[in-house]
Chain A
Amino acid sequence: MKRIALLHSDTKLVNIVFDLANVNQKIYNPTFLSRPNLTVKRDSGRSLNGQGYSHILHKYRTLSVTLSADVLNEAEITFIETFLSKPYKYIAIQENNVWSGYIEVLVTEESTPITYIDELIELPEITLNFEYINIE
Chain B
Amino acid sequence: MIIKYNEIANKIHLMPINSVWIYKKYSALEQEDVSIYFNNPEADSNYKILAKNKTDMYGGNRLLGYMIDITAYFPYNDFTADYVKLLDTLPNIANEPNISFWQFVLFIGNNVPYSQDLHYVNSTNSNYIKLTNPSISVEIESVELRPRISLKINQFINKLEGHILR
- A contact residues vs B (CB 8 Å cutoff): 1-2, 30-33, 68-70, 117, 120, 122-123
A32/B63 contact (C-beta < 8 A), A120-B156, A122-B158 known: no
Q: How far is the CA of A27 from the CA of B157 in the complex (A)?
A: 25
Which bracket fits the contact residues of B? 10 to 19
* In the complex, per-residue mask of B126-166: 1 if CB is within 8 Å of any chain A CB, else 0: 00000000000000000000000000000011100000000
* Among B52, B62, B158, contact of A31 (Cβ-Cβ < 8 Å): B62
Q: Is B121 at the interface (CB under 8 A from chain A)?
A: no
Chain B residues with Cβ under 8 A from A120's Cβ? 156
Chain A residues with Cβ under 8 A from B64's Cβ? 68-70, 117, 123
Interface centre among B54, B58, B63, B158 (most CB of A within 10 A): B54
Can you offer 26 A-B residue contacts whose CB atoms are under 8 A? A1-B58, A2-B57, A30-B57, A31-B54, A31-B56, A31-B57, A31-B62, A33-B57, A68-B54, A68-B56, A68-B62, A68-B64, A69-B54, A69-B64, A69-B158, A70-B54, A70-B62, A70-B63, A70-B64, A117-B54, A117-B64, A120-B156, A122-B156, A122-B158, A123-B52, A123-B65
Residue of A nearest to B58 (CB): A1
Chain A, interface SS category: loop
Q: B residues 49-103 with Cβ under 8 Å of A?
A: 52, 54, 56-58, 62-65
Q: What's the minimum C-beta distance from A58 to chain B, rounded to whole angstroms?
A: 29
A32/B56 contact (C-beta < 8 A), A120-B156, A122-B156, A122-B158 known: yes
> Nearest 5 pairs between A and B by C-beta?
A69-B64, A31-B56, A32-B57, A70-B62, A68-B54
A69/B65 contact (C-beta < 8 A), A120-B156, A122-B156, A122-B158 known: yes
Residue of A nearest to B155 (CB): A122
Chain B residues with Cβ under 8 A from A33's Cβ? 57
Residue of A nearest to B54 (CB): A68
Residue of A nearest to B53 (CB): A70
Q: What's the minimum C-beta distance from A57 to chain B, rounded to whole angstroms?
A: 32
Q: How far is the CA of A69 from the CA of B158 in the complex (A)?
A: 9
Q: What's the minimum C-beta distance from B68 to chain A, rounded to whole angstroms?
A: 12
Residue of A nearest to B52 (CB): A123
Q: How far is the CA of A117 from the CA of B157 in the complex (A)?
A: 14
Q: How far is the CA of A4 from the CA of B18 in the complex (A)?
A: 48
Q: How far is the CA of A31 from the CA of B156 in the complex (A)?
A: 20
